[in-house]
Structure 1
C-alpha cells in the first residue's frame, strides 16, 4: 500500500500521569504513516485525489495540543480516530507518539508508543 508520511511533527501538550506534566506541559513528537492508494493522485496531480499534508498536521496538532490524557497510548488512539473521520480515502495508519522528556529516572533518549489501525469496514 502507498504511504504519506509526516515525520517529527513537534507539539507542546499537557499529557501525563503526574500533576506537574498536566500543569507545566512538555514537548511531544508525532510521526504518521497514512496508507492509501495514491495511484489516482499520482496520475491526476490533483490534491482532491490525495490527503492534504497541512490538514493532517492540523488534525494531529488539535489532538496533541488538546485535552490532556494520562497516557500517550490514548493520544495516539485519538489521532487515529480523528484521521479516519477526516480522510475517507485513508485505509490504515501507523501513529508514533514520542515523549522526549518524561519525568522518570534513568538514561534514555525518549519513550514512545506506536499503534497501527485499519479502517473498519
Structure 2
C-alpha cells in the first residue's frame, strides 16, 4: 500500500496533566503517515484523484489546536480518528512528540506513537 508522510508538524498548544501545562502551553510535534491507494493520482496526475496534503495538515491542526487533552496518548488517538474519517485512508500512524514534557532529569523528551486501521 502507498503512503503519504508528513513529518515534524509543529504546534503550540495546551495539553498535559499539570495545571502549568494548561496555563503556559508548550510545543508539540506530530508525524503522520497514512496508507492509501495512490495509484489513480499517480497515473492521471489529476489533483482531484489525490489526497490533499494541506487538508491532512489542517485536520491535524484542528485536533491539536481545537481541543485540550491531558494525555498525548489521547491526542494521538483523536488525530488518528479524524484522519480515518477520510474513507480513502486505510491506515494511519501518528507520533506525538512532547519535547517539553516534565521529566525528573535535566534533559529528554517523550513521544507516543500509535497505528490504527480502518476496521
Under a length normalisation based on structure 1, what TM-score does the superposition of the two structures give? 0.94
In the TM superposition, residue 108 of structure 1 has moved relative to its aligned partner by 4.1
**Structure 1 unaligned spans of 5+:** none
Q: What is the RMSD of the two structures over their aligned residues, measured on CA atoms?
A: 1.0
Corresponding position of 1:29: 29
Deviations 1:52-104 (A, max 9, x none): 0101111101111122111000000000111111x221000100000001122
Corresponding position of 2:104: 105
Query: Number of aligned pairs?
Result: 119
Corresponding position of 1:46: 46
Structure 1 stretches of 4+ with a deviation exceeding 2 A read none
Under a length normalisation based on structure 2, what TM-score does the superposition of the two structures give? 0.95
Corresponding position of 1:117: 116
